[in-house]
Structure 1
Amino acid sequence: MFVEWVCPDGHRVWQWTSQPVLKFGMQAGDFLLSTNILLSGSNYRKVALMFKFMNMGMVNPNTFFTIQDTYCVDTIREFWEEKRSETINRLQGKEIVVCGDGRNDSPDHSAQYCSYTTMELDSSEVVCVATIDKRETLWNSTVMEKEAFIKTVDTLSKEINLVEVCTDAHVQIAALLNPDKGKYKDLGIHHSLDMWHGAKNLAKKKKKSLQHQR
Structure 2
Amino acid sequence: MVDVGVQTLPQLQTDTDFGTSMTNHSYLQVPISSTQPLDTAFISSPQKDQDASDASTPTPTSSPEKPDSDLSYVPSDESRDSNQSSSSDSMQHITTEPKVIAFESCLKSLFGRVICTDCGEPIAADASEIIYNGTAMKVKFLCMKGHQTSWESQPLVNNKPAGNLMVATAVILSGETFARLSHFAEILSLKFIGSTQFYSLQKDIAIPAIDRYYTMQRDVILQQLHGKQLILGGDGRCDSPGFSAKYCTYTFMDSATGVIPDFSLVQVSETTSSNKMELIGFQRSLASIEAADLTVGVVVTDRHVQIRKAMTTDHSDKKHQFDVWHLSKSIKKKILAIKPKKLLNEVKPWIPSICNHIWYCSRQAHGDSDKLEETWRSLLCHISNRHTFPGKIVTQCGHPPLSPDDIRKKKWLNQDSQALQH
| TM-score when normalising by structure 2 | 0.43
Instruction: Give the structure 1 partner of residue 320 of structure 2.
Output: 190
Between the aligned partners of 1:26 and 1:2, the Cα distance in structure 2 is: 17
Larger Rg: 2
> Aligned-pair RMSD on alpha carbons?
3.2
Give the superposition deviation at 1:155.
1.8
8 Å contact kept, 2:266–2:277: yes
Distance 1:49 1:103, change over 3 A: farther
Instruction: Give the structure 2 partner of residue 109 of structure 1.
Output: 243
Helix, strand or coil for the counterpart of 1:76? helix
Structure number with higher helix proportion: 1
Letter aligned with residue 33 of structure 1: V
Structure number with higher strand proportion: 1
Task: List aligned pairs for 1:142-153, cutoff 5 A.
Answer: 142-153=275-286
Helix, strand or coil for the counterpart of 2:175? coil
Which 4+ stretches in 1 moved above 6 angstroms? 205-211
Percent sequence identity over aligned pairs: 24
Instruction: Give the structure 2 partner of residue 9 of structure 1.
Output: 56
Instruction: Give the structure 2 partner of residue 85 of structure 1.
Output: 219
8 Å contact kept, 2:237–2:248: yes
Between the aligned partners of 2:181 and 2:232, the Cα distance in structure 1 is: 34
Distance 1:123 1:14, change over 3 A: farther
Between the aligned partners of 2:170 and 2:257, the Cα distance in structure 1 is: 27
| TM-score when normalising by structure 1 | 0.79
8 Å contact kept, 1:169–1:201: no
Aligned residue pairs total 208
Give the superposition deviation at 1:131.
1.6
Give the superposition deviation at 1:71.
0.6
Between the aligned partners of 1:127 and 1:70, the Cα distance in structure 2 is: 26
Which runs of no fewer than 5 residues in structure 1 stay unpaired? none
8 Å contact kept, 2:245–2:274: yes
Give the superposition deviation at 1:55.
5.2
Give the superposition deviation at 1:207.
7.5
Give the superposition deviation at 1:67.
0.3
Instruction: Give the structure 2 partner of residue 72 of structure 1.
Output: 206
The farther-off stretch of 168-177 and 12-21 is 12-21
Between the aligned partners of 1:35 and 1:145, the Cα distance in structure 2 is: 29
Give the superposition deviation at 1:92.
1.3
Which runs of no fewer than 5 residues in structure 2 stay unpaired? 1-27, 33-51, 59-123, 131-136, 139-152, 339-417
Between the aligned partners of 2:237 and 2:57, the Cα distance in structure 1 is: 58
Task: List aligned pairs for 1:48-63, cutoff 5 A.
Answer: 48-52=182-186, 56-63=190-197
Distance 1:51 1:126, change over 3 A: farther
8 Å contact kept, 1:101–1:118: yes
Letter aligned with residue 32 of structure 1: M
Between the aligned partners of 1:107 and 1:58, the Cα distance in structure 2 is: 34
The farther-off stretch of 4-13 and 44-53 is 4-13
Give the superposition deviation at 1:198.
2.2
